[in-house]
Structures are given as structure tokens and as C-alpha cells.
Chain A
Amino acid sequence: MTSTSNQHPTGGDAGDLNYRIVAGEPQLADPAVAGVHAALDRIVESSRTEPDAGFESRVLAATMAAARRPARQTLWFRIAAVAVLSAGVGTAWLLMNAGTISGKGLTNTGPIATAPGLIGDEFSEREDEISATVADLVLAVSDDDLAPEIDSLMTEAHSLGTTMKADWLEGGAM
């Protein structure tokens, strides 16, 4: 085992006597594992020369395709956002009307007339929340978070109608 220094390049103690600092970078200084170290380098050299000459061009083609994608994605996001919002509005409206009918069937004594107003207020609030989420998505879209965010929005739209119906029934029964 050899060691000339164990000073961390950034000033701290690297804490390992099996390495010495050369040009600011720890280098292995344990001859017992030097053979493995050299063999690893041979594997790496072999791996790096393995792809054919077209490798860089193929990677570049995929990269440039992705670089042009964000503009198209934004457009699709806007379309998807409108579709999700429309679905949310439509579902809520249908549930509200269905709720009105069943509410009348369940009780004739509740303050039914006040319920649509409550629903309208809550709907506006939730609509604002969803719109804000969609705006965030449009501004900060990337491949990785597209699917979960869309799923989340769809869940939000569904729960919107369900919650409003439950609230309306509860309010109608008061």
C-alpha cells in the first residue's frame, strides 16, 4: 500500500490511504488491486470503441428530434388541457343535474334552491385550481412528468364532480 498524501482536493481529508492525489484528483495507489484496475480500463476501452462509426449520428438524430419536440408538446398540452377541463365541466354539470333530480326524490324539505349557488362557487374555485395546474404544466412540460400530471388532472376532474354531488346531496338534505 502506498500513500504520498491523503488530502482531499477541496481541502478536506479524503480519509483513504489507498489513494494519493495527483493533479487534484485521487488516484489508486494500492498495488494489490492494480491488476483489477487495469483490467477494468481494458473493458472500458473495449466498450467505448464498440459502437460503429454511425453511433454519434444516430444519437444526434434522436437528440435533435427531441430538441424540436417541446413546441409540439406544448400545443398538444394545450389541447389536452382544454379536453380535461371540458370533461371536468361536463361531468360536473351532469352530476349537478343528476343530483338535483335524485335530491328532490330523496327529500322534499331541504333547501334545494341554495344548492346550485354553493356548487357554482365551489366549482369556480376548483376550476381555478385546475387552470393553474394546467398553466404550470404548459410552462414546465417535460417528457418525464407528462403522464403522471395528466393522470393527476384526470383524477382531479373526476373527483370534482363526485365531491360536488356529495356536497350538494348533503346540503340538500339539511
Chain B
Amino acid sequence: MSEPEPGLVDLAPVLEAATRGDGTAWRTLIQLYGRRIYALAKSRCRDPHVAEEIAQSVFATLAAKVGAGEYQEQGRFEAWLFRVAMNRIRDHVRRARRHRDEQGEQALGSVASTQSPGRERDPMLEKLQAALATLSDADREVVELRHHGGMSFKQIADTLGEPIGTLLARHHRALKKLKDQIESTDQAERAGRVNPVPREIAL
């Protein structure tokens, strides 16, 4: 399903209709943002089923809050939506870490290594995914909101409550870390020391 461009849709009437429980309006919002939320959750959780659950949970939360009048349209819907999404993802990560601590690393591996069916493996992308897992939470959030969430830096600033300059510096630093990590993995592979970045590092 092709995603409509958020910039081409006038959100205010859609949100107003969604407040009244209009199914068509909610479908529009889901078409606009559903797969972006999914991609964001998938990046962190690495499990397509969990990612879809999180996407459903985010929109269900939105519906409850919008229905209860907790959202007032001020042109910052995306920031609010992605804040809800990040909270859901953080909740999941916290639970997964607790579960890992209780069950040991084996449990995490079995969850984190879940692959999407029917997808061919791309070694470069796998290295990048593994390198992403080595970033700090703060660096990773900026990268994921920017790329997986498809947000502008202004929206990320609204979502995280941080200055744009800080976010730009963090984004660039994170990209450099990713590049360095991938290069060191490549060098290690070329040197015959097959010790790639662990594919499933902590969430």
C-alpha cells in the first residue's frame, strides 16, 4: 500500500473527524504514519510481530486519548504521535531487558534474531543493523526518528524537547560511529578474523 505524503494532507480536518471516531479519518492517519511507526519499532525490537503489536498499541492509545479530548490540534500531531510511539518502544525495551536479565542472554537472542519471512539478507544492511545496536540510546533515538520515523529535525526537536543544533551534532556523530563500526567489522573480516559485530546486541 502506498503511503500518502503527510505534507500533502491537511491534518486538521482529519484529526477533527478522528476525534468523532470516524473510521475513514483513522484509516488516513494509519496510512500516513502506520508503516513509519512500524519501521521505528522494528529497528529497535528486531521482531516484525512485536513491531506490529507496538504500531497497533500506539494507534489504540491515540484513539483513546483523542476520544477523551486529551489532544488539542496545534499543528504538532506528529511530534505527539512519535512521543507516544517512543514511549511504547521504550516500555518494550525495558521489559525485554528485564526479561533478559531474568532469563539470560539466550532469551534475548531468540527474540532479537527473529527475521522477517521471505527477506533476502543483505550483509551490508545486517552490519548496519548490528552497528545501530552499539549506539547509545540517545544517539540511536535521533537516527531512528530521523530515518525510520521520517521526521524532520524540527519535529524531532519537538518530540525530544531538545535544540535542533544538539540533535544535528548527535545525528552526525551517530552516523560517524556507524561508519567506523562497519569499517572495523570489514577490516576484521578481511584480515580473516571473522569476528563481526554481534548481530544481536542488547536492545
Contacts and interface: CB of A to CB of B under 8 A. Distances in A.
Interface stretch (B74-82, B102-110, B170-178, B187-195): B170-178
Interface of B: 1, 3, 21, 23, 26-27, 30-31, 34-36, 38-39, 42-43, 48, 52, 55-57, 59-68, 70, 116, 119, 122, 124-125, 128-129, 143, 147-148, 150, 152-154, 163-165, 168-169, 171-172, 175-176, 178-179, 182
A62 B66 CA distance: 15
A48 B172 contact: no
B144 to A, nearest CB: 9
Nearest to B58: A59
Contacts of B21: 64, 67-68
Contacts of A122: none
Interface stretch (A8-16, A87-95, A97-105, A108-116): A8-16
A143 B61 CA distance: 7
A55 B56 CA distance: 9
Nearest to B31: A56
Given A26-B153, A40-B128, A63-B26, A12 B63 contact: no
Contact of B182 (A16, A19, A36): A36
Contact of A16 (B59, B152, B165): B165
Contacts of A140: 68
A151 interface: no
Interface stretch (A27-35, A123-131, A155-163, A164-172): A27-35
28 contacts: A12-B163, A14-B164, A14-B165, A16-B169, A16-B172, A18-B168, A30-B175, A36-B175, A37-B175, A39-B125, A42-B122, A43-B147, A55-B35, A55-B52, A55-B55, A56-B30, A58-B52, A59-B30, A60-B30, A63-B63, A64-B26, A65-B60, A66-B60, A66-B61, A66-B63, A66-B64, A67-B26, A70-B67
Nearest to A13: B165
A9 B165 CA distance: 11
Contacts of A67: 21, 26, 63-64, 66-67
A142 to B, nearest CB: 6
Given A10-B154, A26-B164, A63-B63, 4 more contacts: A39-B125, A44-B147, A47-B148, A60-B59
Given A51-B52, A56-B30, A67-B26, A46 B165 contact: no
